Amino acid sequence: MLTEVAPGDERAPHRARIAGVGRTLPPTRLTTAELMRSTRYRTRIDLERLTGIRERRVATEHDSLGLAVGAARDCLARSGRRAADVELLVSCSITKYRDGTVHWLEPTTAAAVAREIGADRAVTFDIANACAGTLTGVLVANNWVRRGEVRCALVVSGERISGLATNAARHVRSIASRELASLTLGDAGGAVLVERAGEGEPGIALAGFTTVAAHSRLCLAAPARREPGARMSTRARAIHRVAIADTPVLLREALDAAGLAVGDVDHVIPHQTSARAIRTGMREVTAALGAAPREPPVVTVDRYGNTASTTHVVALVEELDAGRLRAGDRVALVALASGLEIGFVIFTVDPRLEACRAVRA
């Protein structure tokens, strides 16, 4: 697993902290019952029972860029930073829609976000790493901040990805369909501000990732051939099996690298695919590691569905706003994505991050 060197190493002398988070949630809600009523075929699938997803948000007025820009502005406002402070801006979404479903490959979404928010001096580029994109961006930002290359980095993602569900609703015939997972998707924007930690601030203890590429073809998405937008083929059960088998091994490696035990973690925020998969996965991790984090895993998939690369940020904002993340709490963000990408960002909430929720309250 690729991880950062331990704090104090002269090659990466600084510590980075999560300085702010922000999100955009489109106001329009689509219930699972409504979505399943829209399927072309009579599927007899109880998707809500299978996944725990009651509803998701769908963007009717925002595209991917608008969702990312909204989240970036929310993040800056909550953290009290100006766009001019941002020296690195990375956009990490799978979807790059502007003007409806026009997918932009060039110029980058990051440059467009920087322009919209006024981050004129930021280095900009896009990262693509499926649903692990945002945490991959945090990994890179952590590296740049720790080495002193930048002091302030903004990682953004806007996912207008519910169009895959619209397309899947025309094709899913049964529970065995490889497009079933597309029906879990929802729209959201997310942004994370990573900056150099102040003296004594705990910050990010570990960011680590690996790619189990033997399973790289379990989930593939590309523009649809005869429909607007894209389609995705997922072998969800196979992915779940690999995740159950590999995550404990890698989590143990990550915790060892950070000098932590699983009991030192207060909150786990996994990638949000299905409530049932999250709870099963956590039971397996607990059994394999012989201990559990202090709190049950955070679940937001019931309200927002799988918002792809923004799930962790959507959940972080939810937990901060609800007052469930307090200064001193240690949080483990767990990425699981097509590739197969497995990664972790473990950090401690500091008083300044806890106060981020006060902006909206």
Partner 1 sequence: MPSVLESIAVVAGGRWRRSARRLAGVAARRALRQAGLRPDDVDLLVDAGLYHDRLLGEPALAALIQEDIGANPEDPHPGGHGTFSFDVANGACGMLTGLRVADGFLQAGSIDHALVVASDADPGHGMAPAFPFAPVGAALVCGRRAGTGGIAGFRFATGSPAGPTPTATVAFDGRCNRLTVTRPPGADAAAGALAGEVASGLLAEHDLTPGDLDLVAANPLSAGFLGVLADRLGLPPDRVGRPRDGRPAHTAGLAVALQEAAPGLHLGGRTVLLVSGGAGPTAAAALVLP
Stretch that binds partner 1, among 5-13, 31-39, 48-56, 178-186 (CB under 8 A): 5-13
Asked whether position 259 contacts partner 1 by CB under 8 A, the answer is: no
Q: How far is the CB of 117 from partner 1 (least distance, A)?
A: 13
Site for partner 1 in 303-342 (CB under 8 A): 337-341
Select from 158, 154, 160, 157 the least CA-distant residue to 124: 154
Instruction: Give the position of tokens 């939810």.
Output: 318
Query: How is the beta sheet containing 16-24 ordered, strand by strand?
Result: 16-24, 188-196, 152-159, 88-91
Nearest approach in angstroms of CB 100 to partner 1 is: 8
Applying CB under 8 A, among 24, 32, 64, 129 the residue interacting with partner 1 is 129
Binding to partner 1 (CB under 8 A): which residues in 93-122?
Answer: 94-95, 101-108, 111, 114-115, 120, 122
Of the residues 144, 304, 344, 347, which one makes contact with partner 1 according to CB under 8 A: 144
Residue 68 contacts residue 203 (beta carbons within 8 Å) = no
Tell me which stretch binds partner 1 (CB under 8 A): 45-53, 217-225, 326-334, 352-360.
Answer: 217-225
Looking only at the bridges linking them, the beta strands covering 152-159 and 188-196 are: antiparallel
Per rule CB under 8 A, is residue 229 in the interface with partner 1? yes
For residues 194 and 353, which CB has a smaller minimum distance to partner 1 in the complex? 194
**Burial environment of residue 160 by CB neighbours within 10 A (0 to 12, 13 to 18, 19 or more):** buried
Using CB under 8 A, pick the residue from 225, 290, 322, 361 that binds partner 1: 225
- Return the residue of 77, 123, 238, 288 that touches partner 1, per CB under 8 A: 123
Backbone angles phi, psi at 164, to 5 degrees: -65, -35
Binding positions for partner 1, 267-296, rule CB under 8 A: none
Start-to-end CA distance of the chain, whole Å, equals: 39
Does 239 help bind partner 1 (rule: CB under 8 A)?
no
Q: Which of 147, 170, 171, 279 binds partner 1 (CB under 8 A)?
A: 147
Q: CA 278, CA 263: separation in Å to the nearest integer?
A: 18
Q: What does the radius of gyration of the chain's CA atoms come to, in whole angstroms?
A: 19
The structure tokens listed for 204 are 């990010």
> Which of 137/270 has CB closer to partner 1?
137
Out of 245, 287, 291, 358, name the contact with partner 1 by CB under 8 A.
245
175 touches partner 1 by CB under 8 A = no
User: Torsion over CA of 113, 118, 123 and 125, rounded to 10 degrees?
Assistant: 10
Determine, following the binding rule CB under 8 A, whether residue 5 of this chain makes contact with partner 1.
yes
Nearer to partner 1, 119 or 349 (CB): 119
Sign of the four-CA dihedral 141, 145, 149, 153:
positive
Instruction: Give the count of residues interacting with partner 1 (CB under 8 A).
Output: 74
216 near partner 1 (CB under 8 A): yes
Dump the DSSP string for 265-280: --EEEE--S-HHHHHH
